[in-house]
Amino acid sequence: MTTHDDSTAAVADWLANFSAALGRGDVPAASALFGDEAYWRDLIAFTWNIATLESRSGIAAMLLHTLARVQPRNWVLDGEANKGQGVAQGVVQAWFSFETSVGRGKGHVRLKDGRCWTLFTTLQELKGFEEKRGETRELGAEHGAIRGRRNWLDTQAAEAAELGYQRQPYCLIVGGGQGGLGLGARLKQLGVPTLIVDKHAQAGDAWRKRYKSLCLHDPVWYDHLPYLPFPDHWPVYTPKDKMGDWLEAYARLMELNYWPSTECLSASFDDASQQWTVQVMREGQPVTLRPRHLVLATGMSGRPRVPDLPGAALFRGRQHHSSQHSGGEEFAGKRCVVVGSNNSAHDIAADLWEYGAEVTMLQRSPTLVVRSETQGRYGRLLYSEAALKAGVSTDLADLTVASIPYRLVPKFQIPVCAQIQRDDALFYDRLRAAGFQLTFGEDESGLGPMYLRRGSGYYIDVGASELIADGRIALKSGVGIDRLTEDAVVLNDGTELPADLVVYATGYGSMTGWAEALISPEVAEAVGPCWGLGSDTSQDPGPWEGELRNMWKPTRQTALWFHGGNLAQSRHYSRYLALQLKARMEGIDTPVYGLVQPAA
């Protein structure tokens, strides 16, 4: 029987051998320490990219290109090793720290039969450019008698007045939601002059303006922003207006340079000067900004998709995309058709029903549904009070999730998905009996892989499924819309649904749609789609990339970056995007290994 001491010794030996091979530049010896099935996921420590190498040969090729520059050293085991469970049964795993020529990192290794199965390396900070925190925090006061003293408020006011006018930001973030604010806070702590622009009148308005019943579908432990976690008394599921207030307070407390009521109109990059020219309209006044880097932080989705339906111009009722739905108050007693069956469709259908509307959901294709309580029990184990009591901090949880290469995520999730189906069999039987078409992914791997592959196709149930199961929300499934008339939605099976309101919960395009609109179709085409892994499953065409396309890493357009995802992803990956931008600002050499080439 292998003990903790044996496991720790095994990892320590492997790490020592790996360190020695890298130290003497012996790439064949280093790559020979990996198994026949081997993965190395690197978050900017070796590659200045977010990349996964999936074979010994791929690992060797990466090291041949990067080892002399990176000069990795001081590989130190962090705590004891332990043995994996479930899919990772018998695998020995441990955390470690290391250094490179420019920074300090943290990593994780999993060993199978003495050789590496998965290696995970991350850059955590840049040497000489560390965040000022703890013992190195700023004093905050300037003691002594100083003529013409400028206090904190004076300094903040001067910076706010100058940035974007007398002084240009190094980085411009378009989008002031949780993603843009969290990244802005990271850059602020690293001393990168940054400006955030958003079209809404106040930070948090993107949440406040949605329908009344909206709340976060993920629990509070999963949703913290960088530096300022939610208080211990915060509710498990955050209501949308409370979230809006938190984001507004966050922008002020983190002292972010934030321009509300500012619409980004266009952007162009000049190769000669290596800077952007960005036209914005700030409170009705045109402003030209010239940042070095442009980050589109508009969520993980692009522009709303609204179907072009025959007869839409004839329809006398109301019709709008789900993103424009502010609530069901005015539709009491009205006949409402919700087109779609994912998160927004369910939320809006339930919202309308609560206000007394007669609601029909139109389900055009199968949907993955998981109860929120069950998802918390199986899908968010690392983000919970129990995890915190066990010593798993939010940061450690983020790193643990990220340590699993995307190729292996389905393998880890298939047994979890099967257990969820067993636990909630009665729930799923009732939905099927109502005619609801269910899926758990083409490989039965469940919510996590589906989210990574397509960012849609699912509903985390917070109550609407019960309304469908017992018929309070009517359902038409497996059909599409043929046309609209003056007062009805006509389906392609001939059914007519009388309607006063049609809500198109039909999703969004890729984030590169914003690049097409703001920059050019040519740039959008060169960059390619955002999100998806290339899994060759529904709505995620190949080839396999092994990382989320174009997210938080260099793209094929110089100085253009995309930032988004759910709250946990935005929190975690904002660290690596911020470090990439800081390194460039300070003139640190950042050659990118593995920049994805355009599809042939």
Q: Where in the chain is the domain with CATH 3.10.450.50?
A: 4-126
Question: DSSP for 178-209?
Answer: HHHHHHHHHHHHTT--EEEE-SSSSTTHHHHT
Read off the pLDDT of residues 282-331 as tens digits, 9 standing for 90 and up.
999 999 999 999 999 987 667 889 999 999 999 999 999 998 998 999 99
pLDDT surpasses 60 at 1:
no
Query: pLDDT band for position 598 (50/70/90)?
Result: low
Long-range contact set of residues 541-545: C-beta below 8 Å, sequence gap at least 24:
543/599, 544/407, 545/596
494-521: average pLDDT? 93
Residue 64 pLDDT = 98
Task: Look at the domain 318-504 and name its fold.
Answer: FAD/NAD(P)-binding domain (3.50.50)
CB 84 within 8 A of CB 91: yes
Residue 213 pLDDT = 81
Mean of all residue pLDDT scores within the chain:
94
CB 124 within 8 A of CB 112: no
Assign 413 to helix, strand or coil.
Answer: helix
Read off the pLDDT of residues 479-493 as tens digits, 9 standing for 90 and up.
999 999 999 999 999
> What percent of the chain clears pLDDT 70, i.e. is strictly above it?
98
Q: Rounded CA gap, 311 and 313, in Å?
A: 5
pLDDT surpasses 70 at 599:
no
| CA distances to 176, 204, 460 from 179, in Å | 7, 12, 21
Residue 411 pLDDT = 95
Q: What amino acid is encoded at 332 in this protein?
A: A
CB 358 within 8 A of CB 335: yes
58-78: average pLDDT? 98
Assign 336 to helix, strand or coil.
Answer: strand
Question: DSSP for 48-74?
Answer: SSEEEE-SHHHHHHHHHHHHHHH--EE
pTM of the model: 0.95
Cis peptide before 239 (omega within 30 of 0): no
Q: What amino acid is encoded at 18 in this protein?
A: F
Q: In CATH terms, is domain 4-126 a member of 3.10.450.50? A: yes
Residue 300 pLDDT = 66
Task: Look at the domain 158-302+511-534+554-585 and name its fold.
Answer: FAD/NAD(P)-binding domain (3.50.50)
Tokens of 199: 């079209």
Lowest mean pLDDT among 137-151, 185-199, 200-214, 548-562: 137-151
Q: Rounded CA gap, 137 and 120, in Å?
A: 30
CB 443 within 8 A of CB 410: yes
Lowest mean pLDDT among 13-22, 81-90, 177-186, 199-208: 81-90
Q: Return the higher-pLDDT residue of 380 and 543.
A: 543
Residue 2 pLDDT = 46
Read off the pLDDT of residues 245-259 as tens digits, 9 standing for 90 and up.
999 999 999 999 999
- Length of the chain, in residues: 600
Read off the pLDDT of residues 14-26 as tens digits, 9 standing for 90 and up.
999 999 999 999 9
* Tokens 């043929």, residue located: 482
Give me the sheet containing 275-282, strands edge to edge: 262-270, 275-282, 285-289
Q: Where in the chain is the domain with CATH 3.50.50.60?
A: 158-302+511-534+554-585, 318-504
